[in-house]
A = this chain, B = another copy of it.
Amino acid sequence: MKCKTLKIAAIKEGTVIDHISTANTFRVVDLLNLKGSGNVVTVGINFESKKLGRKGVIKIGGRFLTKNEVDKIALIAPEANINIIKRYGVAKKFNVEIPDVVQGIIKCANPNCITNKELVKTKFHILGKNPLKVRCHYCERVAGRENIEPV
């Protein structure tokens, strides 16, 4: 092996999450439960990026994300973009976007909130996107990115 590049199999169908900040990359891995996945998964960090300096990339063979999963990624890693791969090529590419209201995606940090006591789906209003600021619909507790945990 003398050459300066390695060939690896491209994914035929699946998803590439690109331009994740290195610090958020393994949080996205956890969020999508990729560790126990049966799919071919590749995770890279500290790759060179013109936009971010350093970036992380996640490739998932044979899996497409739901709207709910993309919204979760937007909250954790708003800098990410998603490439949908079909027939070895990019069929669609888009930036993740934080919606105005998120339901059933993140937990409320207030232990006394009804969503932590009863079987009530969480609901948050997005007050600010950068930096992220959310308000619980039920108890009105306000939280930032550092207090946010996926359901």
Chain A residues within CB distance 8 Å of chain B = 1-10, 12, 26, 34-35, 37-47, 61, 88-90
* A2 & B41 in contact (Cβ 8 Å cutoff): no
A-B contact pairs, 22 of them (CB 8 A): A1-B10, A1-B88, A1-B90, A3-B88, A4-B10, A4-B12, A5-B9, A6-B7, A6-B8, A6-B9, A8-B8, A34-B45, A37-B45, A38-B46, A39-B46, A40-B45, A40-B46, A41-B44, A41-B45, A42-B42, A42-B43, A46-B61
Which residues of chain B are within 8 angstroms of A39 by Cβ–Cβ distance? 46
Q: How far is the CB of A50 from chain B (nearest CB, A)?
A: 15
Q: How far is the CB of A60 from chain B (nearest CB, A)?
A: 10
Which residues of chain B are within 8 angstroms of A40 by Cβ–Cβ distance? 44-47
Alpha-carbon gap, A90 to B1, bound state (A): 7
User: Contacting A10 at CB < 8 Å: which of B5, B9, B34?
Assistant: B5
* A89 & B6 in contact (Cβ 8 Å cutoff): no
Which residues of chain B are within 8 angstroms of A9 by Cβ–Cβ distance? 4-6
